[in-house]
Amino acid sequence: MASARIIGPAAVPEAASTPRRIEPVAGVPLIFELSSAGRRATDLPPRAPGERRGAEIIGAELCREDLPGFPELSEPQVIRHFLRLSQLNFSQALQFYPLGSCTMKYNPVVNDELAALAGLAQLHPATPAHLAQGALEILARMEAALAEITGMDAVSLHPAAGAQGELTGLLMVRAYHRKRGEARRKVIIPDTSHGTNPASCTLAGFDVIVAKSNRRGYLEAAEVRRLVSDDVAAMMVTNPNTLGIFEPEIQDIAAALHDRGAMLYMDGANMNALLGVAKPGHMGADVVQLNLHKTFSTPHGGGGPGAGPVAVKKHLEPFLPHPRLRRGAAGYEFDPERPDSIGRMRSFHNNFGMIVRAYAYILALGGDGLGMASRLAILGANYLRKRLEPHFPSATGEPSMHECVLSHDLEKRADVSTLEIAKRLLDFGIHPPTIYFPLVVHGALMIEPTETESKEILDSFVDAMERIYAEALNDPERVKNAPQTLPVSRVDEAAAARHPILRWEKKA
């Protein structure tokens, strides 16, 4: 199988068994170091004779003298520089990238072409609505599709990313309670939650109460009943949770919250487990945010841009952020009057370019295809969990959904840490899983293979993990000194934090 060659253990040369002495060499120079005074990549048409320069027109006192340090290069240099940089990266397109909770699935290349269509890419956000009906229709169809997928009543595509979606949702919850004259200052968050959840709570003015998951790794409605009070505005639950477990008591949890007038906020970061499997709306969620760059295949971009739509039940609809799409007499338009709206979270409408891509993905898969995507993602995670079980047992006995969280005994047996295992995986051409998360599992490896990856790829991952396990026992130094086949060896992150160098500076 060709795939075995792509990521198989053969990629690691035998000579790497002892730490290689690599002489310090310059990697890719910084763009500033390639600069040469007077070189340029662009040209503008010449001024008409006698035409005054911009600086003269507005007056020198308003103008800067120079852009000191700014690069001066030719276009071929710029292209070569950035293409060389690109080659220093692992990416989903080139490597298995089972980063847990990040849903690194394939990003269909046609979707990038579609977003770049002139009618979409060159459309100014202030274009009058009657000249932008195609774009508004995409938004309307996308809202409807996400409402159907989540089982919710209304959707806003406004938030720029999942974390902004969380803040949006929490501010809506807050506005809802205020409108009813209730202050409610607390939000319950499970100990397995993503870090964005408590951070969003703080921004939304809520104090956090931590709910403990039980020994089996999920939340009990009894624990929620114990914590909920008239001062609790909502509980944020990620389902499946960060252990990859479907919260079995989610409906009772929703009821426990609703009984006391509190809401269920569902973090939809793990929606890739739920397509056609269970709808958040039916679980009792009042609000859920989605991450289009995860479940709906828009490129992760080295850390964004994403998009974080929020879907809500009817009672929260009046509080959705500005601007809100509506169907007017002459077509789609934005509704200027929504007195209960929490306001806006960003400029203009939304991350339209990402929404186009996600819409194309939904069209391509259709309702059935989305359901199959989740099922195959779940199959992949369970397959890895089962095959890795002998040396990397699951942190929980509960069934896994689209990701599994594993642990290991190498720290005890060989003084080899999870971080070192992760770094060694790089030598096998595999991006490591999310590590040390969730915090409730010691030395966790959080693995999300997604439906993208074939059985051969999963098998070679298992081979690599097994081999690392054996190495850790027989030749721990090899693991501890990884990676050895990448453009750089282990990066000293502690030094970076101790002596922050955050920009290039011209040598005096």
Partner 1 sequence: MPHTESDIAAMLKTVGAKHLDDLIAHVPANLRASAAINLERGRTEADVVREISALAARNTGASGFASFLGAGYYRHYVPAAVRAVLARAEFATSYTPYQAEASQGTTQAIFEFQTLITQLTAMEVANASMYDGASAAAEAVLMARRMMPRRPIVALSRALWPDYRATIRTYLSALEGIEIVELPFDGATGATDLSALDRIADNRLLCVVTGYPNALGIIEPLGAIAQVTHRAGAVAISATAEGLALGLLRAPGELGVDIAVGEGQSFGLPLQFGGPGVGFMAARLTHIRQMPGRLVGQTRDRDGRRAFCLTLSTREQHIRRERATSNICTNHSLCALAVTVYLSLMGRVGLRELAERNVELAHQAAAVLEAAGIRRRFSGPFFNEFALKLANPSAALEAAERRQILAGVTLGIDYSELSDALLVSVTEMNHGDEFTRLAAAIAEVQ
Q: Per CB under 8 A, which of residues 83..122 are in contact with partner 1?
A: 83, 85-94, 97, 99, 102, 104, 107-108, 110, 112-122
Q: Phi first, then psi: what are they for 123, rounded to 5°?
A: -90, 120
In this chain, which stretch among 4-12, 191-199, 220-228, 469-477 interacts with partner 1, using CB under 8 A?
Answer: 191-199
Q: Binder to partner 1 among 10, 14, 15, 128 (CB under 8 A)?
A: 128
In this chain, which stretch among 166-174, 257-265, 405-413, 440-448 interacts with partner 1, using CB under 8 A?
Answer: 166-174
Sign for the CA dihedral angle at 15, 16, 20, 24 comes to positive
What type of residue sits at position 404?
C
At its nearest, how many Å lie between partner 1 and the CB of residue 229? 19
Nearer to partner 1, 49 or 302 (CB): 302
As given in the structure block, the two tokens for residue 364 are: 């391509």
At its nearest, how many Å lie between partner 1 and the CB of residue 71? 5
Residue 1 as a binder of partner 1 (CB under 8 A): the answer is no
Residue 201 as a binder of partner 1 (CB under 8 A): the answer is yes
Which residues, 293 to 312, sit near partner 1 by CB under 8 A?
293, 299-307
Instruction: Check residue 32 and report its DSSP letter.
Output: G
Which residues, 215 to 244, sit near partner 1 by CB under 8 A?
none
| Contact string (CB under 8 A) for partner 1, positions 431-450, x = contact | xx-x--x-------------
Residue 397 as a binder of partner 1 (CB under 8 A): the answer is no
At its nearest, how many Å lie between partner 1 and the CB of residue 259? 19
Give how far Cα 106 sits from Cα of 97, 364, 461, Å.
Answer: 10, 13, 17
Separation between Cα atoms, residue 51 and residue 504, nearest integer Å: 37
Which residues, 328 to 367, sit near partner 1 by CB under 8 A?
342-354, 356, 359-360, 362-367
Single out the residue of 262, 224, 220 nearest to residue 245, CA to CA.
220
Q: Binder to partner 1 among 78, 231, 255, 340 (CB under 8 A)?
A: 78
What is the DSSP track for 254-299? HHHHHHTT-EEEEEETTGGGTTTT--HHHHT-SEEEE-TTTTT---
| Contact string (CB under 8 A) for partner 1, positions 240-279, x = contact | ------x-x-xx----------------------xxxxxx
Single out the residue of 396, 96, 366, 442 nearest to residue 240, CA to CA.
396
At its nearest, how many Å lie between partner 1 and the CB of residue 40? 5
Separation between Cα atoms, residue 348 and residue 102, nearest integer Å: 27
Separation between Cα atoms, residue 274 and residue 295, nearest integer Å: 10
Separation between Cα atoms, residue 485 and residue 465, nearest integer Å: 17
Single out the residue of 211, 98, 271 nearest to residue 440, CA to CA.
211
Q: Binder to partner 1 among 39, 216, 315, 413 (CB under 8 A)?
A: 39
Q: Binder to partner 1 among 62, 329, 330, 508 (CB under 8 A)?
A: 62
Residue 81 as a binder of partner 1 (CB under 8 A): the answer is yes
Separation between Cα atoms, residue 502 and residue 316, nearest integer Å: 43
Query: Residue 469: which H helix or E strand, with range?
Result: helix 455-474
Q: Binder to partner 1 among 2, 10, 57, 508 (CB under 8 A)?
A: 57
Residue 75 as a binder of partner 1 (CB under 8 A): the answer is yes
At its nearest, how many Å lie between partner 1 and the CB of residue 414? 20
Q: Binder to partner 1 among 375, 407, 466, 476 (CB under 8 A)?
A: 375
Instruction: Check residue 388 and report its DSSP letter.
Output: H
Q: Binder to partner 1 among 156, 192, 200, 272 (CB under 8 A)?
A: 200
At its nearest, how many Å lie between partner 1 and the CB of residue 142? 11
Q: Binder to partner 1 among 12, 152, 283, 312 (CB under 8 A)?
A: 283
Exposed, middle or buried by CB within 10 Å (0-12, 13-18, 19+), for 26?
Answer: exposed
Q: Binder to partner 1 among 12, 224, 310, 373 (CB under 8 A)?
A: 373
293: number of Cβ within 10 Å: 28
Separation between Cα atoms, residue 491 and residue 478, nearest integer Å: 16
Nearer to partner 1, 89 or 229 (CB): 89
Q: Binder to partner 1 among 205, 222, 226, 415 (CB under 8 A)?
A: 205
